Structure 1
């Protein structure tokens, strides 16, 4: 492994790679042996951070349903025990549960590792690392990869036995207790969801536990729940709340079973979306609006931090209807979470919610952990309270104004230095916008350039930004009127003609 390119495994604050052969052009670069080395690197990093000997460390391991997970975890565990650590094997678990093992009084793990690649294809896998301070940052992952490259680790002569533990049952039980406490049902404290039918779609990922460990003990009827069994082939649909087919599947399940509510998780359960009793999707702006309404009831006037592509209608709803503050920030769940934490640290204002349109949501009351199961639990508590008052949970977002049209175009950059080129495009567009009398640059924008389109034929906005990792410039356009996107896209296509390294085919096809 002397010539191995460790940097290729870094994906922001995660590690991701190709773990299985079979996809043309994708060479395996995350083998069990590589995983073992990464485990040893984490031990060294954690030992240095905590100033503890590796033999004193306790580390928990979990994985999602991916086909490569079992083999990777076996050598990952062995590599860590070679350093003298105590290892807990949680088998299939969720990413948020792994963090919780670092603060749960029965475990108090010094660190945790989750083997997952979220919603990526079956041949991929990755590692997410936690200490009791939360998920590691990008710089920490860089440090771990540098330690892996050095490959200089202490090895003990006597290794501790790996302990298998069913932590997901403990985690699920804690979530169920949170619903009981929140609802405080006057006649049925133990089963506050009795009389409610809840359909869960786990997409054959790690979220199937939510039915047996959370919903059934709370008295919910879970008839119609689907794809609960872990299967790394993902035979039914991509386990991703942003996927059109996945959302159509859970919507159909809710309608077919006449359910009161539907929940869909991503592979490792750090993201979630929902569906109301009429089959309407509660994701993106609607999901943000719904949880914002709940949070701002509990913490009036606080700040909701979102990513950059949320709608103007959401801003109006949070600030005018709910009395909160909407703070748009950069894409990337870690960016959004860290911004909310920074707001709280400044002490002039508080933020209790950081949420991306992707379904990543983190709350101050839950260690700012992006936990799809926790968000689902908050929604279900509100669902039960609404039922007690003969109301619907969606009454909370009745005033949300939604765009008539919304579209994203991903424009590929066909040049080696794509970041520099992309920033040039954004700068030129900003200059161009100042010459357009009916376009107005949105101030205090933290990512790319956001333009309000005032023309009656457009009546909307667009955002052009650079992708976090890929040679792509995503263009998001929304309009409050039918056919309003087309004139905005047409003007932008004409502007982009001068940029020969931009693939304009998505825009051209639309127009």
Structure 2
């Protein structure tokens, strides 16, 4: 019996597609994928209500991708959709099939599980209005569970479409036009050495199909070939080992810039010429500097765990507005869209994880477009003898930063976690020197005066876990905050706070 609801992961579908990890039972089989294909087409019929449906489908480099794709395509064609197989592609490219390209596409689908281990896989869905929301995914899974879909005897053949070439050309033309470097219009990155680390995911195209076309020297790029075993490191800009790998490569190759993508290229980070990572708060600061030069006074929407130094940089140095919202890339994107609809200009929604969505680019979280935007600025600065990271030289980084994760053993973990947060507020209110930060849209954020820092305790988006982020501007500040917080949380027996000891 399939537990369809368990396949939902927020606004995506994710599951275990391969054996090989102890305790993880396969629940995303070819049979499930075929039913999901039929259910998705039915959802499209119910929602968009047009007679001729066409769907483009791509995969990342995962081992399970080809089998799941074949089954998914079979389900869609039997349900009456015209289907285009885009081969290995990126998540942002699959959205772009719905708004550009030489085909008329109703929806795009990416088969991926982002940065998760080799045995996982999943589905991300798009229409021209953007990625589907949680409620849409729930409806698709409901259709699958009830077998509430129709099929047809007239099955159209699947067409091949190498859309990643069209998408790459779009990026190349964008960089050329926006940089407008004369007389090197065609090759604005001439003289710059830029290396790419794709982590054996789907992002290897960026070196040959984008950077090489723009004149960059990409020799020394690494792990460009798709390999779903991920033999070198996890394709994840948040992973320390992955970031260290690209940092080392930049130094080894004497490169001007390093670029790293996650598996399906909806997230990215960069490394400067000295081998310093530009991710998390620094990446947000850098793209904010570019955006606020183009759109002065705009609101930058970020997730909840960004630093006080970032807020000061955006508001005091860049003269913008920083709205610290909730974790979850769809949350920050939807909040930025909401602000624009209400008349408050917001051109950037970005998470510390590297998800960045720009108003100018359909509010699509696109790691390659983010890098393209930064490359435009790099080309302009290089022409004037300046460096890209000169833009964030006044960003104040915390002295210390650490994340802890508490497991919740209580069956009703959501209610229990909310009780922890409410009671923690009451305890903090009685302490001198600790102040609850308002406004705050997620969990409990506290400013710690003596420790020159802050912490945020919140519920995980999907799991029985409470993440805790602590930052401090002084040495030993994180430890001091952690120890005091351990005492406040000691009474909560359903919370595994051994991580603080």
Alignment deviations for residues 402-428 of structure 1 (CA, whole Å, 9 cap, x no partner): 100001110111111111111111111
Question: How far is 1:398 from its partner?
Answer: 0.7
> What corresponds to 1:373 in structure 2?
368
Asked if structure 1 preserves the Cα contact closer than 8 Å seen for 2:400 and 2:478, the reply is yes
Alignment of 1:83 with 2:79, yes or no, is: yes
Alignment of 1:146-225 (within 5 A): 146-225=142-221
1:111 to 107, 122, 125: 107
> What corresponds to 2:65 in structure 1?
69
Q: Distance in 2 between matches of 1:424 and 1:65?
A: 42
Instruction: Tell me the secondary structure at the aligned position of residue 351 of structure 1.
Output: coil
Alignment deviations for residues 28-47 of structure 1 (CA, whole Å, 9 cap, x no partner): 10011111111111111111
Q: Which deviates the most, 222-231 or 157-166?
A: 157-166
> What corresponds to 2:12 in structure 1?
14
Instruction: Tell me the secondary structure at the aligned position of residue 475 of structure 1.
Output: strand
Alignment of 1:336 with 2:332, yes or no, is: yes
Alignment of 1:125 with 2:118, yes or no, is: no
Instruction: Tell me the secondary structure at the aligned position of residue 34 of structure 2.
Output: helix
1:48 to 34, 46, 49: 46
Alignment of 1:447 with 2:442, yes or no, is: yes
Q: Distance in 1 between matches of 2:73 and 2:49?
A: 22
Alignment of 1:5 with 2:3, yes or no, is: yes
Q: Distance in 2 between matches of 1:477 and 1:4?
A: 40
Q: Distance in 2 between matches of 1:172 and 1:106?
A: 14
Number of residue pairs matched? Answer: 501
1:357 to 336, 339, 352: 352
Scaled by the length of structure 1, what TM-score is found? 0.97
1:291 to 277, 287, 298: 287
> What corresponds to 1:421 in structure 2?
416
Q: Which runs of 5+ in 2 are unaligned?
A: none
> What corresponds to 2:481 in structure 1?
488
Q: Distance in 2 between matches of 1:26 and 1:474?
A: 23
Q: Distance in 2 between matches of 1:22 and 1:317?
A: 46
Alignment deviations for residues 325-347 of structure 1 (CA, whole Å, 9 cap, x no partner): 00000100000100000000101
Instruction: Tell me the secondary structure at the aligned position of residue 354 of structure 1.
Output: strand
> What corresponds to 1:460 in structure 2?
453
Question: How far is 1:241 from its partner?
Answer: 0.4
Q: Which deviates the most, 145-154 or 174-183?
A: 145-154
Instruction: Tell me the secondary structure at the aligned position of residue 100 of structure 2.
Output: coil
Alignment of 1:479 with 2:475, yes or no, is: no
Q: Distance in 1 between matches of 2:417 and 2:92?
A: 34
Instruction: Tell me the secondary structure at the aligned position of residue 322 of structure 2.
Output: strand
Question: How far is 1:381 from its partner?
Answer: 1.0
Q: Which runs of 5+ in 1 are unaligned?
A: none
Alignment of 1:378-389 (within 5 A): 378-389=373-384
Q: Which deviates the most, 300-309 or 33-42?
A: 33-42
Q: Distance in 2 between matches of 1:354 and 1:423?
A: 27
Question: How far is 1:447 from its partner?
Answer: 0.4
Question: How far is 1:305 from its partner?
Answer: 0.2
Q: Distance in 1 between matches of 2:270 and 2:93?
A: 20
> What corresponds to 1:140 in structure 2?
136
Question: How far is 1:152 from its partner?
Answer: 3.2
Alignment of 1:29 with 2:32, yes or no, is: no
Question: How far is 1:154 from its partner?
Answer: 2.1
Question: How far is 1:288 from its partner?
Answer: 0.2
1:345 to 341, 350, 358: 341
Scaled by the length of structure 2, what TM-score is found? 0.99
Over the residues paired in the alignment, what is the CA RMSD in angstroms? 0.8
> What corresponds to 2:313 in structure 1?
317
Q: Distance in 2 between matches of 1:446 and 1:403?
A: 22
Asked if structure 1 preserves the Cα contact closer than 8 Å seen for 2:101 and 2:166, the reply is no
Question: How far is 1:105 from its partner?
Answer: 4.5
Asked if structure 1 preserves the Cα contact closer than 8 Å seen for 2:192 and 2:256, the reply is yes
Q: Distance in 1 between matches of 2:255 and 2:71?
A: 43
